[in-house]
Amino acid sequence: MDILIAKEFSDVPWGRYPEDGDFCGEIFREKHLLPALKRTNPPERVRVNLDGVEGFGSSFLEEAFGGLVRRGFYRPDDLRKRLEVVASKDEFGMYVELIWRYVDEAKFGSEVSNLSTA
Amino acid sequence: MLGWIWHLLPAVVAIGIGGFWLNRFFVRKANLASLVDRSCNSIEGLVKKCAEYWTSNYSVEEATKSALLEAEIKATVLHINTLVNLIAKKYARSKITEETCKLILDLQNHCTGGLFETQRRKSDRIRMVRIISVANKLTEDLHMLKL
């Protein structure tokens, strides 16, 4: 399953929390990423494509991807089996590396989700 | 009658080819230096923007100014990353070390991480110290390419 952020969410993703706007990391995680991951069974993977976006703030990326671990949805090794992040532009390789850094550094289950439990 | 030409020809050809390669070497060096300078100027500009952004709390009155700074900071980090990629691709792939790549990731992480683009943003001096430290290290690494 593919998620093209620029087309299906926003080409200008912005902020971390819902109070920061409709295109923040938490809303992307809860309304797009998490439902797609839940519908997917390994070895099938959700492929998130970063192409077409104007740029990402690390706060967005950490909340969207690191948040999956922090909120206790998936452990990093489990997430690697279910998720693939791609970008065709070389410059966006930086974002792909950072996403996996945030996933690996996040402490599993250290926070409770606001949206998914609502 | 013109037999002497054949004696000079190898020297002329050698000078021509040597001149071409020498010129190419110096042009490449100059282009590399120019790209490095441009990257370093961008890093300097980024630090100034971050200093403005990360030394104040979020406020409704300054929301527009903050949004502008956020867009500039994100775009500048991406621009620096693009320039360094270009340097690596065209001029110095073997000289751009893993450490340099890690510094760019750290720069993006410190400049746009934490409560960046949020209404909960607080003045963060420790983050600013980290940004300056990473920016200085990256500038040093890039200047080394010119030597």
A58–B108 CB contact, under 8 Å: yes
Residue A110 placed within a domain: no
Whole-model pTM: value is 0.87
A17–B120 CB contact, under 8 Å: yes
Terminal Cα distance for chain B, rounded: 50
| Mean pLDDT calculated for residue range A1-10 | 93
- Say what the pLDDT of residue A117 is: 39
CA A65 centroid distance within chain: 3
Q: Which of the residues A12, A20, A63, A94 would you substitute to probe the B interface, choosing the one with the greatest number of B C-beta atoms within 10 Å?
A: A94
- CATH architecture for the domain at B35-146: Up-down Bundle (1.20)
Residues whose CB falls within 8 Å of the CB of residue B35, separated by 6 or more in sequence, listed in order: B83, B86, B87, B91
Count of beta carbons in the 10 Å neighbourhood of residue B78: 20
Q: Convert the pLDDT of each residue in A103-112 to its tens digit.
A: 999 998 888 7
DSSP assignment of B29-69, as one string? Answer: HHHHHHHHHHHHHHHHHHHHHHHHHTTS---STTHHHHHHH
CA dist., res. A92 & res. A73, Å (int): 26
Query: Greater confidence, B93 or B146?
Result: B146
Question: Is A56 in CB contact (< 8 Å) with chain B?
Answer: yes
Among B70, B82, B109, beta carbon nearest to A91? B82
Q: Please say if the pLDDT value at position A92 is more than 50.
A: yes
CA dist., res. A46 & res. A80, Å (int): 10
Query: Greater confidence, B101 or B94?
Result: B101
- Say what the pLDDT of residue B6 is: 82
Q: Convert the pLDDT of each residue in B21-67 to its tens digit.
A: 988 888 888 889 999 999 999 999 999 999 999 999 999 999 999 99
* Domain extent for A33: 2-105
Percent above pLDDT 70 for chain A:
94
Residue A118 placed within a domain: no
Residue A90: closest CA among chain B residues belongs to which residue?
A: B85
Query: Greater confidence, B3 or B87?
Result: B87
Q: Please say if the pLDDT value at position A118 is more than 50.
A: no
Among B105, B111, B118, beta carbon nearest to A20? B118
- Say what the pLDDT of residue B41 is: 96
Percent above pLDDT 90 for chain A:
84
Count of beta carbons in the 10 Å neighbourhood of residue B132: 14
Question: Is A62 in CB contact (< 8 Å) with chain B?
Answer: yes
Please report residues of B whose CB lies closer than 8 A to that of A94: 78, 81, 104-105, 108
CA dist., res. B111 & res. B1, Å (int): 74
- Say what the pLDDT of residue A114 is: 54
Please report residues of B whose CB lies closer than 8 A to that of A20: 117-119
DSSP assignment of A62-109, as one string? Answer: IIIIIHHHHTTS--HHHHHHHEEEE-SSGGGHHHHHHHHHHHHHSPTT
Nearest to A114 by CA among A71, A62, A68, A59: A71
Question: Hey, what are B15's tokens?
Answer: 């000078």
Q: Decide: A27 and A115 in contact? Cβ < 8 Å.
A: yes
CA A57 centroid distance within chain: 12
| Mean pLDDT calculated for residue range B70-93 | 92
Q: Convert the pLDDT of each residue in A41-80 to its tens digit.
A: 888 999 999 999 999 999 999 999 999 999 999 999 999 9
The number of distinct structural domains making up chain A is 1
| Mean pLDDT calculated for residue range B100-112 | 95
| Alpha-carbon distance B9 to nearest alpha carbon in chain A (angstroms) | 47
Give residue limits of the domains in chain B.
35-146
| Mean pLDDT calculated for residue range B74-101 | 89
Helix/strand/coil for B80: helix
Question: Is A77 in CB contact (< 8 Å) with chain B?
Answer: no
B104–A98 CB contact, under 8 Å: no
Nearest to A28 by CA among A78, A85, A77: A85
Residue A114 placed within a domain: no
| Alpha-carbon distance B136 to nearest alpha carbon in chain A (angstroms) | 19
Residue A6: its H or E element: helix A5-8
